[in-house]
Amino acid sequence: MGMGMRAMARIGGNFALTALAAFAAAPAMAQELVGQPTPGGLGLQPGASVLAHEAAWFHNVVLMAMMIGISVLVLGLLLWIVIRYNKRSNPTPARWSHNTPLEIVWTVVPVLILVVIALFSFRLLFAYHNAPEADLRVKVTGNQWNWGYEYPDQSVSEFISNMLPEDQATAQTYRLAADEPMVVPVGKTVHLLITAADVIHAVALPAFGIKVDAIPGRVNQAWFKAEQTGDFYGQCSELCGVDHAFMPIHIKVVTDAEFAAWVASKGGSMTKAADDAAAAAAATAEAAPAVPAADAAAPTDAAPAAPDAAAPDAPAAQ
């Protein structure tokens, strides 16, 4: 009996120590690896975008507090009933049933808990949907079993991103790293236009707080603004077939200059949007020869003014 108790105490003590060590070690280890899973890590990956911080706060502060509070309350009630109302301490049990005030309390309190969760949850949902103005758009297409990335504003046509084979990746980044990552500039708002070519896939990138389905015939949207340069890894998160585990999402965040160099290496142009606006303005000028030459030339010089060049004609025509 004595031995048994001692062994139990030792196991309990070891468990408590292990749990404590895991909690103490997790934040320290998690700080070392941003954008990828940490071996032995607990909890969410450290965030590198505003949505990831907000989602982590919602989970760690709001939801965890409620889960712990409810668990402790229920455990306390159970222990109280077991100790106070067992057969020995309470030989003659009460025979009453129903207690209206108590029933109102256990209906209203859970409703209030859900309302509080909903308030924070909707706030987060709106943050996901109210994306700031895009600095850059990337069309993301899920294929069986790789990803296609296209940059319409920079005229970078779609390229395919395949998983790096085992002998070219490190043990840590195998099944996370890709041969042709999506490259984006740091500190810029990136809109992802997400679709699929065959079956449903999903874009998930924990460090940016993103998980959005890629559905054939439909364009879903996600956004992020990377806070630091580096490699960020995610994976397809919708079971999409036999190679589902082999189509990682690898996003490389670089400086503006590096991004411009990368766009050039892909045969794209950083000024594509400006080029298009200028071309549209020139076309408008040609289509309306009556416009004085000075007015026609102005929008060509200042590309963003191109839509205004057409505007004065429109109300006149109606």
For Cu ion, the binding residues (CB under 5 A) are 201, 236, 240
CA 10 and chain centroid, separation = 42
- Which C-beta is closer to Cu ion: that of 143 or that of 221? 143
- Which C-beta is closer to Cu ion: that of 204 or that of 226? 204
- Which C-beta is closer to Cu ion: that of 55 or that of 214? 214
- Which C-beta is closer to Cu ion: that of 45 or that of 235? 235
CB of 209 to Cu ion, least distance (A): 20
Show Cβ contacts of residue 263 under 8 Å, excluding neighbours closer than 6 positions.
Answer: 151, 154, 156, 269, 270
- Which C-beta is closer to Cu ion: that of 201 or that of 250? 201
Show Cβ contacts of residue 134 under 8 Å, excluding neighbours closer than 6 positions.
Answer: 189, 190, 191, 223
In sequence order, what are the beta bridge partners of 191? 137, 223
CB of 54 to Cu ion, least distance (A): 26
- Which C-beta is closer to Cu ion: that of 217 or that of 292? 217
Q: Where are the alpha helices (DSSP H) in the chain?
A: 2-32, 50-57, 64-84, 100-129, 256-265, 272-287, 293-301, 306-310, 313-317
Contact (Cβ atoms closer than 8 angstroms) between residue 281 and residue 300: yes
CB of 180 to Cu ion, least distance (A): 17
Contact (Cβ atoms closer than 8 angstroms) between residue 220 and residue 150: no
CA 168 and chain centroid, separation = 27
Distance (Å, whole) CA 308 – CA 299: 8
CB of 143 to Cu ion, least distance (A): 8
CB atoms within 10 A of CB 254: 19
CB of 274 to Cu ion, least distance (A): 36
Residue with tokens 């296209």: 150
CB of 85 to Cu ion, least distance (A): 53
- Which C-beta is closer to Cu ion: that of 200 or that of 260? 200
CB of 244 to Cu ion, least distance (A): 5
- Tokens linked to 116: 């509080």
